[in-house]
Amino acid sequence: MGGGPGDPDLITVRGRRLLAEADVVIADRLGPRDLLDELPPHVEVIDAAKIPYGRFMAQEAINNALIEHAKAGKSVVRLKGGDPFVFGRGMEEAQALAAEGIACIVVPGISSSISVPGAAGIPVTHRGVAHEFTVVSGHVAPDDPRSLVDWASLAKLTGTLVVLMGVDKIGKIAEALIAHGKSPDTPLALVQEGTTAAQRRVDATLATVAETVRAEEVRPPAVIVIGDVVTEGPGTPTK
C-alpha cells in the first residue's frame, strides 16, 4: 500500500479503508505514520526498520515477516511512503508473496516525486517551460558502478528532473550534470519533509547546491527538483 508523501490526508480512500481493516501493519519510516495512532488496540504494528535481520538481509526479513503473518491467516498491510512501485521495492515483496502462493492487492499511492514539488509551489510541468519530467533515484552517485542512470542523456533534456533519495549525493549529481553540458545556473529546489508540518524549501543552483545543502543542513527525506519550473511556481523559498 502506498501511503502518499507524508500528510495523512493524502493516502487514498481505498488505502485508508484497508488500513482500518488490518490485523497487522508493517510500516516504513516514511509515509503517514500518524495514521498508525488511529488503529484499534488489537492491530499489531511492526516497524520495518526494526525487524530483526539475523542471517537475512533487510528486504528478505521484511518479505519473511509478510509471509509469516499472511500464512497465519492475518490481514496484513505493508504500508509504504509514496507509491510502492516508485523506488519502493514493492514488486520484490509482491514477487516473494506470489512465490509462496499468497495473494496480495496493490494499492497505488500518491508519489512524492509529483506531490512534494506541488506542495512547495513547484509544477513539474508548465506550459512553455517544461513538456516532460523525469524521475530518477539518487541513492547511488553517478560515478558508482551500480548506477543505472544515464546522467549524460539527462543533462541534455530541457524538461524537469526530479531526484529522489539524493540529498547526500546531490553534489556529485550536480557535477555530473554540469560536466555533461547542463548550465551551472540551472535552478534547483530541495523540499524537505514535503506535505508535513515540518516542510521546508531551500533553493539553489547546480553550481551552489552542494554548499547550500551543507550550509542549510538539508536532511532526508527531501525531493530535489532541477529545472526552470523551480522559478515559475507561486511558492517561495523557506528555511
Tell me the backbone φ, ψ of residue 178, rounded to 5 degrees.
-65, -45
Tell me the backbone φ, ψ of residue 201, rounded to 5 degrees.
-120, 130
Give Cα 96 to chain centroid, integer Å: 22
Identify the active-site residue in 23, 74, 165, 168. Answer: 165
Q: 6: buried, middle or exposed (CB in 10 Å: 19+, 13-18, 0-12)?
A: buried
Which 3 state secondary structure label does DSSP give 208?
A: coil
165 is a catalytic site residue: yes
50 is a catalytic site residue: yes
In eight-state DSSP terms, residue 218 is -
Identify the active-site residue in 28, 83, 169, 172. Answer: 28
Sign of the alpha-carbon torsion through 222, 34, 124, 199: negative
In sequence order, which residues have a C-beta less than 8 Å from that of residue 141 and are 6 or more positions away? 147, 169, 172, 173
Identify the active-site residue in 7, 9, 47, 50. Answer: 50
205 neighbors 175 (Cβ within 8 angstroms):
no
Known catalytic residues are: 28, 50, 165
